[in-house]
Amino acid sequence: MILSLKNQVALITGASSGIGYGCAEALAAAGASVVINYRSQPEPAEKLASSIREKGGQAITVQGDVSKEEDVENLFAKTLEAFGALDILVANSGLQRDAMIADMSLAEWQQVLDVNLTGQFLCARAAVRQFRQQDRASVSRAKGKIIHMSSVHQLIPWAGHANYAASKGGLDLLMRSLAQELGEEKIRINAVAPGAIATAINKEATQGEAAEKLLELIPYGRIGVTEDIANAVVWLASDLADYVHGTTLFVDGGMSLYPEFRGNG
Ligand code: NAD
């Protein structure tokens, strides 16, 4: 079977930068029409949409905050207006508001949970409602596919980032519960857990001396790039992964392998 997303429609949240941007680019290259959601940066989103269109693909941009119910409803309405269906949701938006627990404000806790967990719920719910109304048997074996962008920190505790780790740990059980609930409807749900990928979210940790320290945590010996995640997302979204359901694919160069134990004979 050849990997193709031709005639499929993909919505990617938080796609004006980093991993989301890379996913939108790769999904379009695989043949999907893409909806590029951004919260506050229209320029890179528009630039990406134009470059996809120049290559013969189809793309639109839609502003929206995934933690707001009305914005999510609008995002899905605009998707349908433009392309008439939705096959793939990549719920990618996420942020960090780091603080040690005694110094963490309720606002920092709440914002991370609102975007990283409630935003994932709102987008998944809207996608499921849409999937149920459509027959896409001619373009995909699944009725619809959801890919949640998680993190190695759904597994690895992270001091100083309790809000972020809690949001991603919660996302794991959200994803698996939805997969259990919706599998018999042929709605296929998975997550991708990136390790350390060089993007805006972790600029300080992936450059200079900090990067050297970070490499000690990555058995495969390099910091990831957005294409590493985008390639996994494209595969997971395709019929080649049709029997992959309710799983988190760790794309982390081995970061989740307890690398501190190397050489501790
Ligand atoms: P990034 O900061 O470049 O991307 C995050 C995107 O989410 C941005 O485009 C931002 O505008 C968007 N966003 C934030 N709040 C939003 C909101 N309320 N509504 C809509 N969009 C919103 O960083 P990234 O590394 O590309 O992160 C993408 C995803 O990958 C996040 O969920 C992050 O937790 C996850 N992740 C990243 C890494 C990494 O090493 N870069 C590792 C593990 C997981």
Instruction: Summarize pLDDT for 109-136 with one digit per residue, the tens.
Output: 999 999 999 999 999 999 999 999 999 9
CA torsion through residues 219, 223, 229, 231, sign: negative
DSSP string across 141-161: SSSEEEEEE--GGGTS--TT-
Residues 147, 88: contact at Cβ < 8 Å? yes
- Nearest residue by C-alpha to atom 2 in ligand 1: 201
For residue 46, is pLDDT > 90? yes
- Token pair 């900090």 is found at 210
In a domain, 101, yes or no: yes
Q: How confident is the model at residue 250 (pLDDT cuts 50, 70, 90)?
A: very high
Structural domain range at position 23: 9-252
- Pocket of ligand 1 contains residue 82 by CB under 6 Å: no
Angle, vertex CA 91, rays to CA 6 and CA 3, nearest 5: 25
- Pocket of ligand 1 contains residue 120 by CB under 6 Å: no
Q: Residue 21 pairs with which residues in a beta bridge?
A: none
For residue 226, is pLDDT > 70? yes
- Pocket of ligand 1 contains residue 248 by CB under 6 Å: no
Kindly list the distances between the CA atom of residue 191 and the CA atoms of 143, 196, 251, in Å, as whole numbers in the listed order: 17, 16, 10
In a domain, 260, yes or no: no
CA 96, CA 64: separation in Å to the nearest integer?
A: 18
Q: What is the mean pLDDT of residues 226-245?
A: 98
For residue 264, is pLDDT > 80? no
96 CA distance to ligand 1 middle (Å): 8
In a domain, 264, yes or no: no
- Pocket of ligand 1 contains residue 144 by CB under 6 Å: no
Q: How confident is the model at residue 200 (pLDDT cuts 50, 70, 90)?
A: confident
Q: Which two structure tokens, joined as six digits, stand for 38?
A: 């951004």
User: What is the position in ligand 1's atom list of the atom closest to the CA of 116?
Assistant: 32
For residue 74, is pLDDT > 80? yes
149 CA distance to ligand 1 middle (Å): 9
In a domain, 165, yes or no: yes
- Pocket of ligand 1 contains residue 22 by CB under 6 Å: no
In a domain, 150, yes or no: yes
- Pocket of ligand 1 contains residue 200 by CB under 6 Å: yes
How many domains does the chain fold into? 1
In a domain, 94, yes or no: yes
| CATH classification of the domain holding 112 | 3.40.50.720
CA torsion through residues 144, 238, 122, 38, sign: negative
% of residues, the chain, pLDDT over 90: 94
Angle, vertex CA 234, rays to CA 229 and CA 240, nearest 5: 125
In a domain, 1, yes or no: no
Q: Does the annotation count 38 as an active-site position? A: no
93 CA distance to ligand 1 middle (Å): 5
Q: What confidence score (pLDDT) does residue 177 get?
A: 98
For residue 265, is pLDDT > 70? no
What b/e readout covers 58-83, taking b as 16+ CB neighbours within 10 angstroms? bbbbbbbbbbbeebbeebbebbeeeb
What is the rounded average pLDDT for all residues in the chain?
97
Q: What confidence score (pLDDT) does residue 263 get?
A: 78
In a domain, 4, yes or no: no
Lowest average pLDDT, out of 66-80, 145-159, 191-205, goes to: 191-205
Kindly list the distances between the CA atom of residue 233 and the CA atoms of 70, 84, 95, 100, in Å, as whole numbers in the listed order: 27, 22, 19, 32
User: What is the position in ligand 1's atom list of the atom closest to the CA of 115?
Assistant: 18
Q: Residue 250 pairs with which residues in a beta bridge?
A: 193
